[in-house]
Structure 1
Amino acid sequence: MAGLIPRTFIEDLVSRLDIVEVIDARVPLKKTGANFMACCPFHNEKSPSFSVNPNKQFYYCFGCGASGDAIKFLMEYERLEFTEAVEQLANKAGIEVPREERTPQQKKQEKTRKTLYDALTEAARFFFTQLRHEAAPRNYLVRRELSPQIARDFGLGYAPGSWDALLKHLSSKGYRDEQLIEAGLLIENEESNRRYDRFRNRVMFPIRDGRGRVIAFGGRVLDDSKPKYLNSPETPVFHKGRELYGLFECKQKLKQIDRLMLVEGYMDVVALGQFDIHFAVATLGTAATEDHIQLAFKHAPELVFCFDGDAAGRRAAARALQNTLPYVEDGRSVRFLFLPDGEDPDSLVRRTGTEQFLKVVAHAMPLEEYIFEQSSEGIDLSSMDGRAKLAKRVAPQIAKLPPGIFHELMNDELAKRTGLNRTTIDRILLTPEVAMEPVVQSADPQDYEPSSERIRPKLASIQTHSRTNDMIRRVIGLLSRQPAAVANIEVECSWPDTPSTLSLIDLIEVVRKRPEMSASQLYGVWLAKHGAVQAQELMDCIALTQTTSDSTISTELGEYQAYFAKKARAQTKSQRLNILKRIPLNEMTDEQRNEYRQLIRTHRE
């Protein structure tokens, strides 16, 4: 791990780049007015909605919401890590990427990680070589109908049955036992002090990270021994909850990944690859985590979960659904594929062939349909009580979805299926126990009538808070587009407390120091300071302001500032009035009585 790239270099690099040139070299652009347009490379469309602004040096897709600067585009389009994208762009610009000086601890960590990567790579070579010399594992692969070519593509190998074959080989290469234990290749028996190979008599599947480095292994027995699969333990270079087997190979085969399918085993991934189905990946002996889902969505807009159709498969699907919901933004889709009894992807594709298997995947159950299907189990939807139970089960799941069109459509669909109005559904979401227990007592019969006045104040408060946060995000977007406008923002401005307020305060502090920055330079600063997730949030805020012309940004910022200042004054007066109300009138001082009367008069006005 080299030293960090200095923030100032990233800012300078972004300012030197021409985003039109970077994107046009990969996606042909056509000039339309002041901007350039193309069909979006991040989702399928027939009419161009992908806009590149040469003045602001960022892109935005009106179809799927993808946005960012030249670095972000390269990361998404070529599926690169941030550092790799910076190095590639710097190389094109003819400048060398500097590195900040590392601490002694960082240097030690870098040396350790390099040793582990080297040891794991050498182990993969050893296993690969052993496969060529041993008949038993080759015969096993033949029985599984895997070709020599697909075995080479995935780097399959064989771990000999002896206790120390790998240990002896790596020791001869100069690796110490402690290093091999840390890499997960050896096991140490603490009682006997004996050290031996973790993997023995198994077909080996190297697990690679996004850069193609071997970081771990999975091993499968050649017979019916238990455990059937054995995985590497967690190590400094391998975290099973963050990696997907086959993702690197998928990226090597497909220039554009439109879909990823999560299957349960390594063999399924390899077998599908042999049938030219290269979008399958597998979790590593664990259920699909939020990290897995975020990683998958980073590379593809559609995610298909493939499970057995039995009870265990349904339970796994339910867990995957809950982990997925917070990441189903507009422009992304999720499907669930339940296989027939006794089938797995390997057996199904061999029985039906590639074309038919792809049709099965294309007809997998959409997320929205799966939510309503699994939530309807055991419920009589023809009864009022049943529809109320359905609402109680589905509403908390919809609440997990990010705000957007899909979220709203799901609420509308719930209203349609239950006969409830939207106001009542919103009230269900405000019930604390709903989030913990999907199935609760049924709603009152009156919930099927038009909204009642008694629930409006609470809903209005929630809606107002949401609108206020949207306003703050819009202020962030306007100020990001025109940092010099910070001169018109008062130092002591009272911003409301919302999830985005801290980001706004941080932004104001940054642009006060450097108001001459362009939007693209600001993005570089934000990326270096807060990372890719927060940098994308900044771009999302900018995208909210696309309909505002540059000439009116200062005016609109002034209006927001005045609005929030007025709200803050009103809140202060209201708080003071509540304090005075608690004092009996006969105990008030003359000054307090006068203040009270004035506040009452102002409040009524």
Structure 2
Amino acid sequence: MTTYYSDEAIQAVVEANDIVEVVSGYMTLKRVGNSYKGKCPFHNEKTASFTVSIEKQLYHCFGCGVGGNVITFIMEMEKLPFVDAIKFLAARVNLILPEKQNALEDQQAYEKKKRLYDLHRDAANYYYKCLKTNQQGLAYLFKRGISRETIKNFGLGYATADWDHLLGYLKTKGYSIEEMMGSGLVLASENKHYYDRFRNRIMFPIINPRGQIVGFGGRLMSGEDKGPKYLNSPETMIFSKSYELYNLNHCKNYLDNGQILIVEGYMDVISLYEKGIKNTVAALGTAFTAFHGKILERYANEVIITFDGDSAGAKATEKAMNILKNTNLNVKIVILPENEDPDSYVQKYGFDGFNDFVSKALTIVEYQLELLKKMNDLSQTDGRLNYGNEAIKVLRNLATSVELDYYSKMVAKETGINQEVIRREVIRSKTNTNNNQTVEINVNKKESADQKIPKAYKKAQELVIQYCLKSPESISELPLEYLTDDFYQRLLASASERKKANGKIEINQLMAHFDDSEEIQKIVELMMNEKEVSQIDYQDAREIMKRFYNKAQLSKLSEQIKRATTNGNDDEVAKLTNQLIEIKKMMKDNGRH
């Protein structure tokens, strides 16, 4: 990945944030000698086993084994990726992060952004106070089933019908017209008359995962009011609707099951939250982007698209589905009744009714087949035949024979066409490239479902990695092709770079090259592991890796020889056979048969 900040910048953030002070903001710590102890926030325990070292500026739990530095702690507690955790900690101590490779420009950009964040916070406080004294706004929200507690939790507010009330308030707080215009909350007419963007609307602060207000959404309370039903802040230095998800700041704290519901609107999110369903986010408007998909990958394993049941909702569902199927997320889809949205549905059927409906969410393939059913009259022969032919186009994208068997049964049941006929047509419709593909053992790729890496090979790699991180001079001697996981390869490559640049490996600098939370946790575990790997154990582990690598090469060569023999390519057979003999001879010489 691209390094967002230099090693020096990351180290400055770590040094400026004392880990004891940061951790104490989330839990109670008691001093014991040169360390502090408390009950681990990452698992339930009766006896305190979570230790924070003042000297090392690291934490470690002797109960569950987690450990790391101030950055990894914030990543876990705030559910933030690595770079956002750095920004969070930098903001905590008013540290300016380098963005433009120019100190003066960085200072100016930092000040502008800080003023914008402050301005949005003051504007949110203003809107909130206006709502508390506005009976029309409160009555609207109460009628929609929103409690005072939820109003407070989301910081909901009200923009008065006046043209310049917010403008006047922000002036009293010391903000200039230029700053107000830069926020997008104030506009100017052609004759330079300044006025509020949001008027006579319920206001929804948009808060990023770091807890900063970056923009607003405003909703009209009546269909008789003029203007669009929803109005969002424009793009600014601190806000882009393509990069923000509404309620992610709350949602990230309610993901015990690794599942996020995606809905369309602010009120959908808030109504579901009010009923106890808190793992929801909404894209701002219809702007669901590939970047949103990447953000969701950081927080969840599964997403459920739960858009409105009308035609607009169906189009938005298809757009989001096509983006999300290119991620590593398990994607499911809820089809609400035509005149329902998540807000109205949960109001009618409550927590249990909504969750029961969501539990029946469809997979992408089931959803596509359901759409095909609606487009074809299955009571008619031509409708069933057309449905069958179109369904085959959907099924040919399936990855496994298990999926093909499951869904071909489903199509057979709907059409009356024999399941084996459907299976054959699906396989026949696949490209020749897919038909002729041969599975080969490739030890340079991550383990797949069809290729199991022996436990001894995995253990040997872990020992070698652990040894290399403690003794980085050994990295150059290790053939990287012995490693089956590209994460290990990237880790050692980064460690080698750090060693060449600084003469040693700093965990903070090493983590700067990774933004996947699981990978970073693995780095922490490897670096914090106090068990020493001896040179003898290291050499043994290398020999094990070499043996398994050579076995994989033999298997690969055997397959290639079979294909070359079938094709009558005698020269290729001879060449490959010589390679196979050489590897066997080497293995025998090493006494590793």
Equivalents in 2 of 1:56, 1:160: separation in Å? 52
- Matching residue's letter, 1:459: Q
8 A Cα contact 1:184 1:232, kept in partner: yes
Structure 2 partner of 1:578: none
8 A Cα contact 1:304 1:334, kept in partner: yes
8 A Cα contact 1:56 1:481, kept in partner: no
Structure 1 partner of 2:235: 234
Structure 1 partner of 2:515: 531
Which among 424, 432, 440 is matched to residue 464 of structure 1?
Answer: 440
- Point out the more displaced range, 274-283 or 255-264: 255-264
Equivalents in 2 of 1:211, 1:350: separation in Å? 31
Q: In percent, how many aligned pairs have the same letter?
A: 26
Equivalents in 2 of 1:552, 1:55: separation in Å? 31
Residue 411 of structure 1 and its aligned partner are, at CA, apart by: 4.9
Structure 2 partner of 1:119: 119
Within 5 Å, give how 1:334-353 maps onto structure 2. Answer: 334-353=331-350
Residue 283 of structure 1 and its aligned partner are, at CA, apart by: 1.6
Deviations 1:487-528 (A, max 9, x none): 4865898899x98898478357448749998xxx78654421
- Call closer, same or farther: CA 1:87–1:300 in 2, change over 3 Å: same
CA-atom RMSD, angstroms? 5.5
Structure 2 partner of 1:545: none
- Call closer, same or farther: CA 1:486–1:565 in 2, change over 3 Å: farther
Equivalents in 2 of 1:493, 1:255: separation in Å? 37
8 A Cα contact 1:391 1:414, kept in partner: no
Structure 1 partner of 2:246: 245
8 A Cα contact 1:494 1:568, kept in partner: no
Is 2:271 aligned against 1:271? Answer: yes
8 A Cα contact 1:297 1:303, kept in partner: no
Deviations 1:194-241 (A, max 9, x none): 332111111111111113221111111122133001000111111212
Deviations 1:33-92 (A, max 9, x none): xxx9xxxxxxxxxxxxxxx99899769xxxxxxxx99965762455245478679999xx
Deviations 1:564-595 (A, max 9, x none): 9999999xxxxxxxxxxxxxxxxxxxxxxxxx
Equivalents in 1 of 2:214, 2:256: separation in Å? 25
Structure 2 partner of 1:42: none
Within 5 Å, give how 1:454-533 maps onto structure 2. Answer: 458-460=436-438, 463-464=439-440, 468-470=444-446, 480-483=465-468, 484=471, 487=474, 503=490, 506-507=493-494, 509-510=496-497, 513=500, 524-532=508-516
For residue 338 of structure 1, give the secondary structure of its aligned residue in structure 2. Answer: coil
Residue 367 of structure 1 and its aligned partner are, at CA, apart by: 4.5
Equivalents in 2 of 1:166, 1:322: separation in Å? 41
- Call closer, same or farther: CA 1:425–1:258 in 2, change over 3 Å: same
- Point out the more displaced range, 122-131 or 337-346: 337-346
Structure 2 partner of 1:602: 575
- Call closer, same or farther: CA 1:289–1:383 in 2, change over 3 Å: same
Equivalents in 1 of 2:541, 2:386: separation in Å? 52
8 A Cα contact 2:298 2:517, kept in partner: no
Equivalents in 2 of 1:394, 1:384: separation in Å? 15
8 A Cα contact 1:245 1:282, kept in partner: yes
Equivalents in 2 of 1:394, 1:599: separation in Å? 38
Structure 2 partner of 1:199: 198
Structure 1 partner of 2:367: 370
Equivalents in 1 of 2:138, 2:14: separation in Å? 54
Equivalents in 2 of 1:88, 1:161: separation in Å? 36
8 A Cα contact 1:11 1:522, kept in partner: no
8 A Cα contact 1:128 1:156, kept in partner: yes
- Matching residue's letter, 2:199: R
Equivalents in 2 of 1:78, 1:28: separation in Å? 18
Structure 2 partner of 1:320: 320
Structure 1 partner of 2:546: 558
For residue 269 of structure 1, give the secondary structure of its aligned residue in structure 2. Answer: helix
For residue 342 of structure 1, give the secondary structure of its aligned residue in structure 2. Answer: coil
Deviations 1:273-322 (A, max 9, x none): 33333333322112433333443443444422212223332222222222
Residue 6 of structure 1 and its aligned partner are, at CA, apart by: 4.4
TM-score normalised to the size of structure 1?
0.65
Specify every segment of 5 or more residues in structure 2 that has no aligned partner in the other structure, as ranges.
24-36, 50-59, 411-418, 527-536, 559-569, 579-593
Structure 2 partner of 1:105: 105
- Matching residue's letter, 1:238: F
Residue 157 of structure 1 and its aligned partner are, at CA, apart by: 1.5
Within 5 Å, give how 1:182-197 maps onto structure 2. Answer: 182-189=182-189, 191-197=190-196
Structure 2 partner of 1:214: 213
8 A Cα contact 1:494 1:564, kept in partner: no
- Call closer, same or farther: CA 1:409–1:603 in 2, change over 3 Å: closer
- Point out the more displaced range, 209-218 or 421-430: 421-430
How many aligned positions are there? 500
Which among 14, 19, 26 is matched to residue 42 of structure 2?
Answer: 26
8 A Cα contact 1:304 1:336, kept in partner: yes
Residue 245 of structure 1 and its aligned partner are, at CA, apart by: 1.7
- Matching residue's letter, 2:271: A
Structure 2 partner of 1:413: 406
8 A Cα contact 1:4 1:99, kept in partner: no
8 A Cα contact 1:486 1:511, kept in partner: no
Residue 27 of structure 1 and its aligned partner are, at CA, apart by: 0.9
Structure 2 partner of 1:359: 356
Equivalents in 1 of 2:177, 2:194: separation in Å? 8
Equivalents in 1 of 2:549, 2:473: separation in Å? 11
Residue 104 of structure 1 and its aligned partner are, at CA, apart by: 1.9
Is 2:298 aligned against 1:283? Answer: no
- Matching residue's letter, 2:288: A
Structure 2 partner of 1:575: none
- Call closer, same or farther: CA 1:565–1:264 in 2, change over 3 Å: closer
- Point out the more displaced range, 423-432 or 229-238: 423-432
Structure 2 partner of 1:402: none
Specify every segment of 5 or more residues in structure 1 that has no aligned partner in the other structure, as ranges.
31-35, 37-51, 60-67, 91-95, 400-406, 433-454, 543-548, 571-596
